[in-house]
């Protein structure tokens, strides 16, 4: 295999910057929970790439599936179906409740949500869509209109009818009512606001069952049931965006199974392709028939492509064979225990929360006010990278300084121990160097 010849830095001379700083290393290789830079330095990946590599990087079965697809077909005319696509639609229908039986296969999470919003609008005849503060649904216009975590400024109007509900963040109560345990007041206030703003054309609520980029927010018991009741009362559909939460990270195939509420529309992406671009929008037979009747149109260049479908079949096989759902819960407990140990040791860690292998750690200036410590958080994250641990710090939105920690589901316990030890060292060193003051 040949490595492309690279001229010296700056590497980004001919690249558009897209909203997150480039890591100051070139990554040449990735396997399992590890990545290596072009100088051969090993780095533990606690972000699963961009939350997609749940089986670990370059899992042999994914590599094999890509080879198989090369023997078959990679890409076809958008009106053509292939055996992997049909098999994947059948597999998903078998895993999901009977009502969610019709899939559309696209490439990215944003695209799947775009299709979901169009289907919801066509089916209900309405156009208002309610998202959650802190949510992230993609960069295409419709999806971006219901992103409330960041990136709204500077592009003119969002889609007409885009409304927001406050996320049930118990650590930073959005309506300044609760502290540490959400009693659901924010939901009632939120729907009052929605009703006040609505022009009478409510189509759907779109939500991540556990909001990830917005702060790893696990809603309180019974929360999604209440949302569903609010939706039903208003004739709205509930769309769950399970880009990050489906296929094992929370210990089940789908996060909604934990909460006992079935969405009307489900979108899958990131974890379905295990690192290859694949997404799905899934609805009931009745909704599909109604929307087809009404002229639903969403062909894209890569709709129903065989290559990613072949890979997704391998992802689903490996999830079952390696019992990764159970593994995610076990490894998640180990990770959470390590993080709580660090919280006991380091005052800067205000909160540790999460579900399975999706854990969030908030960095605060003091535990009483819970004001985010953005500068120290960034300094520790950089030190982690120097020490060989890749961490994602989310420093936008309300809580504004949080690590979202999500290693692949195949992570080994020694790797979790190593990650915790690096984190401990990085926090200790940065704080000893006068961390906050120096960084600020
Ligand atoms: C919950 C959720 N939905 C949708 C998306 C958008 O996916 P994509 O970047 O593949 O368009 C993301 C991306 O981070 C996400 O986290």
The pick from 18, 51, 52, 137 for probing ligand 1's pocket by mutation, whose C-beta has the most ligand atoms within 8 angstroms, reads 137
Task: Give the span between the Cα atoms of 210 and 351, in whole angstroms.
Answer: 16
Spacing, Cα 245 to ligand 1 middle (Å): 11
Confidence category of residue 334, pLDDT binned at 50, 70, 90? very high
Q: Which atom of ligand 1 is nearest to the CA of 279?
A: 10
Point out the ligand 1 atom lying closest to the alpha carbon of residue 242: 1
Give the strand pairing for 402-405 and 358-363: antiparallel
Q: Residue 193 Cα, ligand 1 centroid: separation in angstroms? A: 26
Query: Of ligand 1's atoms, which has the minimum distance to the CA of residue 245?
Result: 1
Q: What pLDDT shows up at residue 192?
A: 98
| Catalytic residue selected from 45, 208, 242, 415 | 208
Query: Which of the listed residues 116, 136, 274 should we mutate to test ligand 1's pocket, taking the one with most ligand atoms within 8 A of CB?
Result: 136
Exactly one of 228, 249, 327, 404 is catalytic; which is it?
Answer: 404
Q: Which two tokens stand for residue 242?
A: 């399970």
- Ligand 1: which of 269, 275, 279, 406 to mutate, judged by most atoms within 8 Å of the beta carbon? 269
Question: Which of these ranges, 174-188, 293-307, 396-410, has the smallest mean pLDDT?
Answer: 396-410
Percent of the chain with pLDDT over 70: 96
| 165 beta partners | 132
Ligand 1 atom closest to the Cα of residue 138 is: 6
**According to the model, what pLDDT value does residue 16 have?**
95
From 45, 121, 128, 136, active-site residue = 136
3-state secondary structure of 201: coil
Confidence tier at 437 by pLDDT (50, 70, 90): low
Whose CA is closest to atom 4 on ligand 1?
A: 137
Partners of 361 in the β-ladder: 352, 403
Centroid of ligand 1 to alpha carbon of 273 (angstroms): 13
Q: Ligand 1 centroid to 326 CA: how many Å?
A: 24
244 catalytic residue (yes or no): yes
Question: Which three-class secondary structure state does DSSP give residue 399?
Answer: coil
Decide if pLDDT at 399 tops 90. no
Grade residue 395 by pLDDT with cuts at 50, 70 and 90: confident
What atom in ligand 1 is closest to the CA of residue 110?
11
Which residue among 211, 241, 253, 288 is the active-site one?
241
Q: With contact defined as beta carbons under 8 Å apart, do 315 and 325 qualify? A: no
pLDDT of the residue at 209: 98
Q: What is the pLDDT at residue 398?
A: 60
What lines the ligand 1 site, CB under 6 Å? Answer: 108-110, 113, 136-139, 208, 212-213, 241, 243-244, 269
Q: Mean pLDDT over residues 397-402, rounded? A: 75
The predicted model gives 258-275 an average pLDDT of: 97
CA 391 to chain centroid: 15
Q: Tell me how far the alpha carbon of residue 288 lies from the centroid of ligand 1, in angstroms.
A: 23
Q: Looking at residue 435, what is its pLDDT?
A: 63
Scanning the structure block, which residue is given the tokens 């390696």?
322
Instruction: Look up residue 392 and give its two tokens.
Output: 């994602």
Mean pLDDT of 307-324: 98
Mean pLDDT of the chain: 95
Q: Which of 121, 228, 252, 270 is catalytic?
A: 270
Q: Is the pLDDT of residue 110 over 60?
A: yes
Q: The dihedral of CA 154, 155, 160, 164: what is its sign?
A: negative
Q: How remote is the CA of residue 131 from the centroid of ligand 1, in Å?
A: 14
How do residues 174-216 score in pLDDT, each as one tens digit? 999 999 999 999 999 999 999 999 999 999 999 999 999 889 9
pLDDT of 10 reads 84
Stated as kind and residue range, the H or E segment containing 318 is helix 306-321
The whole-model pTM stands at 0.96
The pLDDT, as a whole number, for residue 84 is 98
pLDDT at 275: 97
Atom number in ligand 1 closest to CA 270? 10
pLDDT score of 2: 57
Which residue(s) pair with 265 in the sheet?
239
Residue 136 appears among annotated catalytic residues: yes
Distance 430 CA to ligand 1 centre (A): 32
CA angle, 132 as apex, 407 and 120 as ends, to 5°?
105
CA torsion sign for 178, 221, 95, 262 is: negative
**Sequence-separated (6 or more) residues with CB below 8 Å from residue 106:** 112, 115, 278, 279, 280, 281, 298, 300, 302, 303
- Average pLDDT value for residue range 59-85: 98
What is the residue with the minimal CA distance to atom 8 of ligand 1? Answer: 109
Q: pLDDT tens across 358-392, in order? A: 999 999 999 999 999 999 999 999 999 999 999 99
Atom of ligand 1 nearest to the CA of 135: 1
């Amino acid at each position: 295999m040949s490595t492309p010849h690279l001229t010296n830095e700056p590497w980004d001379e001919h690249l558009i910057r897209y909203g997150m700083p480039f890591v100051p290393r070139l990554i040449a290789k990735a396997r399992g929970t590890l990545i290596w830079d072009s100088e051969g330095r090993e780095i533990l990946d606690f972000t699963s790439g961009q939350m997609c590599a749940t089986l670990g990087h370059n899992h042999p079965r994914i590599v094999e599936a890509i080879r198989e697809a090369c023997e078959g077909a990679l890409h076809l005319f958008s009106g053509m179906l292939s055996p992997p696509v049909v098999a994947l639609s059948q597999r998903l229908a078998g895993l999901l409740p009977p009502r969610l039986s019709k899939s559309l296969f696209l490439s990215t999470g944003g695209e799947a949500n775009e299709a979901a919003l169009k289907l919801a609008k066509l089916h209900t005849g309405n156009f208002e869509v309610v998202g959650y503060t802190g949510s992230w649904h993609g960069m295409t216009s419709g999806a971006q209109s219901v992103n409330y975590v960041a990136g709204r400024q500077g592009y003119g109007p969002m889609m007409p009818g885009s409304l927001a509900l406050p996320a049930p963040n118990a650590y930073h109560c959005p309506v300044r009512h609760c502290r540490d345990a959400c009693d659901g007041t924010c939901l009632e206030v939120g729907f009052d606001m929605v009703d006040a703003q609505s022009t009478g054309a409510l189509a759907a609520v779109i939500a991540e069952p556990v909001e990830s980029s917005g702060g790893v927010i696990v809603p309180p018991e019974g929360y999604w049931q209440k949302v569903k009741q609010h939706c039903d009362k208003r004739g709205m559909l509930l769309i769950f965006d399970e880009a990050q939460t489906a296929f094992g990270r929370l210990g089940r195939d789908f996060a909604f199974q934990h909460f006992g509420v079935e969405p009307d529309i489900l979108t899958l992406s990131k974890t379905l392709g295990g690192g290859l671009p694949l997404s799905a929008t899934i609805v009931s037979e009745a909704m599909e028939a109604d929307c087809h009747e009404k002229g639903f149109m969403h062909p894209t260049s890569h709709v129903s492509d065989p290559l990613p479908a072949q890979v997704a079949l391998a992802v689903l096989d490996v999830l079952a064979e390696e019992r990764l759902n159970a593994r995610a819960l076990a490894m998640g407990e180990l990770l959470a225990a390590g993080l709580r140990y660090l919280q006991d040791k380091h005052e800067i860690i205000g909160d540790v929360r999460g579900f399975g292998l999706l854990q969030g750690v908030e960095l605060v200036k003091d535990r009483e006010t819970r004001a985010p410590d953005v500068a120290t958080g960034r300094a520790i994250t950089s030190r982690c990278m120097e020490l060989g641990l890749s961490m994602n710090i989310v420093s936008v939105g309300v809580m504004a300084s949080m690590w979202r920690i999500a290693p692949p589901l195949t992570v080994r316990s020694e790797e979790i121990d190593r990650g915790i030890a690096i984190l401990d060292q990085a926090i200790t060193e940065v704080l000893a160097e006068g961390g906050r003051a120096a960084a600020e």
